[in-house]
Structure 1
Amino acid sequence: MMTEEKRTIHVLKDEKLGVDREYVAVDRAANVGEMIVIVEPENTSGDVANAGHYGLIIEDDSVKNALIADFKGFDNHFVLDDGIQRVGEAGNYYHVLEPTDIVHIDGERYRLEDRKAEVGERVFYVNKENGKSDGIDTIVTSAGVDIVYVREYKDDTGEAVCSICHGYYYVLTPVQDATEPKESDVITVLANLGAEVAELKRTVAHHQAEFNALREQLAKVASGGGTKMELTGNFIADIIIGLKKAGL
């Protein structure tokens, strides 16, 4: 029975793009031209691919209901010299590696975005007809109606490149990895929260004092205290002011 491998990220070179790319392992049947990763070897004789080894499906052997994979070029260690091996004869003991839109360049992660680039953004050329690229990134210096002008560079043929047509490049957008909050950040948040709570307490205490004073004046009215003039004039004004101060 196959081992479980949920959304495991594998970083391998994308030969067409010429850069390292992130792949996810998916439990399904492979097609010719796809890369796979072994998750459970069919036997343990030592002359076959082991768990974690990568291969490229190069042929569909329908007679034996299996696929032929080439395990050369992936830093795999084998007893067999040619690295060619059938897979799937005893069932799907591999997972297919499906490409994501995340690539690695100079140790940084970027998302491939198929859109018009803006000045200052990082791009690299790609032939949309065959998906191939020289894997050389550059910076957009200005943008026109049909093309973007870039910092001049030499492609893999040695030809100087200073512009790329729209639709023939990918925009490389940096991917920000989620980071855990630092201890100092937590302390700052708690300190700010404490200050806000203290301010709230002072505000409540102030309103309580205003309310107590207003209640005392109302008690005087109820007991017959004060003059008629105070009740109809100054006292009413004091009540209104007290209500406003209390936020009522």
Structure 2
Amino acid sequence: MTKINNAITVLADETLGNAVLREYTEVKRAAAVGERIKIIATDQRIPIGTIAKCTVADQFTDGSIDTDTPFPGSEHDGFIDAERTEYVVLTPSDVIRIDDKRYRLVERKANVGDTVLIVNAVNDARDDYGYGNGETYVVMKIGGECPEIWPDDTESSEIYLEREEYSVIEPLVSRIRDVPTEAAATSTPIDTAAIIAQVSAVFAETFAKVGVRLTQIERILQAKETPLIVTTPETIASFNEHYPTRDDVIERAKADIENVKTPWKSVDNSPQYFVSNRVCDVEFIVNRDKRTVVALLRWRYNGAIQSRGKSRCARGDVFNASIGRAVSLRRALGLEVPAEYTDAPQPTEPRVGDVLYWRRQGETYRIDGINGYYYDFTLLPSGEKYTGVPYHYGVPTDNGNTSIIDDSREEPEVSA
């Protein structure tokens, strides 16, 4: 029979790099292999309070175990007899402690403003993306369905977390009966009017932003008498404007490199990039391995860097250098990044120039030509030429083993 004590034990969580303390419930039952135990009784050979881990459980004597901790004086080092009721099993709870504050782990999708704890970071997250297990971050944005964190507290370090990488943590608030009467009586009165005013201001700002998008959609569905599905040139143009294809977004990103310039008072009034009232030239650094683009704005007078911006392709999305340039340049100039850049539709079929990743082989290829069901492709980075069918979108035999990872369709020498 299982019996639960009221007592809890607080230990460092090994799975989180010992940076987070977890509360364990003490349960009186036989331990299973791999579980932690705590010694609660002794016969002069095992110190009370000792923490150990069950390594072998006796299948004939219920509860007798061997542990990873040797005990001096015992007949078998690490042996514990359950008949002596010497231990309790430590069962992990969903309550953790960080900086002497208690939180509850909640398994749900994070929202903007939530604090998340990294519990299962992807491989090389620390080296490639700047975050790791046991660390907490505030969700700054939601990109698609993924929460976005900023490891270095700037938007240029944005990272999109996969659902399995994090748990939401919520602070545990003391119950009302735990608050002393004196403290409640002398506490500062709540300014209800001020709180309502603050909340109203936040809602007004939010609705103002959302209202712009709702107005755009309403224009399409404005006339109630008009059928929802229409094929007039005006309606098609309006739909394409508000629901652009990936090709549309890429073309807008390419044009944006020139469109974000501002006029300069010169003979020809030619547009230029400006930072702190200085005319600058832009230099793009494209890293296809890390799927990043950095924009450096250099003062035309001496080449000194005046500002920089960075874009990083979210995991699971297809990298495109043109979109990356537009995003990084806008950030370098302090301009807003349109949602169509960060939420661009993903490609639905491969084209010549796309880079593919073949999971079965662990290799990347660039499509050189498409001839019916057969593809001419180049193995990257060796440069060997092949002809075959490394990828055919929608063919059952592919089984999802190959995917598009880069549709920039640029020659390698264009990027750094």
Aligned to 2:102: 109
Closer/same/farther in 2, CA of residues 187 and 142 from structure 1, 3 Å limit: closer
**Structure 2: gaps (5+ residues):** 123-131, 188-416
Aligned to 1:85: 78
Aligned partners of 2:32 and 2:54 also within 8 Å: yes
Aligned to 1:163: 160
Counterpart AA for 1:36: I
- Report Cα offsets for 1:122-153 as digits up to 9, x if no partner: 11222399xxx711111110013331110225
Greater CA deviation, 14-23 or 120-129?
A: 120-129
1:127 aligns with 2:125: no
- Report Cα offsets for 1:62-86 as digits up to 9, x if no partner: 47762111238xxxxx758xx9511
1:16 and 1:119 map into 2 onto residues whose CA distance is 26
Aligned partners of 2:35 and 2:90 also within 8 Å: yes
- Report Cα offsets for 1:135-185 as digits up to 9, x if no partner: 1111110013331110225xxxxxx87221124310011111233233263
When normalised by structure 1's length, the TM-score is: 0.57
TM superposition outliers: structure 1 runs of 4+ over 6 Å = none
2:49 and 2:135 map into 1 onto residues whose CA distance is 30
If you compute each CA radius of gyration, which structure gives the higher value, 1 or 2?
1
When normalised by structure 2's length, the TM-score is: 0.36
1:184 and 1:111 map into 2 onto residues whose CA distance is 25
Equivalent residue runs for 1:1-248 within 5 Å? 6-18=5-17, 19-41=20-42, 43-44=43-44, 48-62=45-59, 66-71=64-69, 84-88=77-81, 90-127=83-120, 134-152=133-151, 162-178=159-175, 179-183=178-182, 185-186=184-185
Aligned partners of 2:143 and 2:160 also within 8 Å: no
2:93 and 2:186 map into 1 onto residues whose CA distance is 38
Aligned partners of 1:20 and 1:104 also within 8 Å: yes
2:186 and 2:134 map into 1 onto residues whose CA distance is 44
Aligned partners of 1:28 and 1:92 also within 8 Å: no
Aligned partners of 2:103 and 2:170 also within 8 Å: yes
Closer/same/farther in 2, CA of residues 5 and 146 from structure 1, 3 Å limit: closer
Aligned partners of 2:103 and 2:169 also within 8 Å: yes
Aligned to 2:305: none
Aligned partners of 1:124 and 1:138 also within 8 Å: yes
Closer/same/farther in 2, CA of residues 126 and 187 from structure 1, 3 Å limit: closer
Greater CA deviation, 25-34 or 173-182?
A: 173-182
* Paired residue secondary structure (1:185): helix
Counterpart AA for 2:46: A
Aligned partners of 1:32 and 1:58 also within 8 Å: yes
CA positional deviation for 1:108 = 1.1
1:16 and 1:26 map into 2 onto residues whose CA distance is 21
Counterpart AA for 1:24: T
The structure with higher relative contact order (CA 8 Å, sep 6+) is 1
Aligned partners of 1:125 and 1:164 also within 8 Å: no
CA positional deviation for 1:106 = 1.6
Counterpart AA for 1:113: V
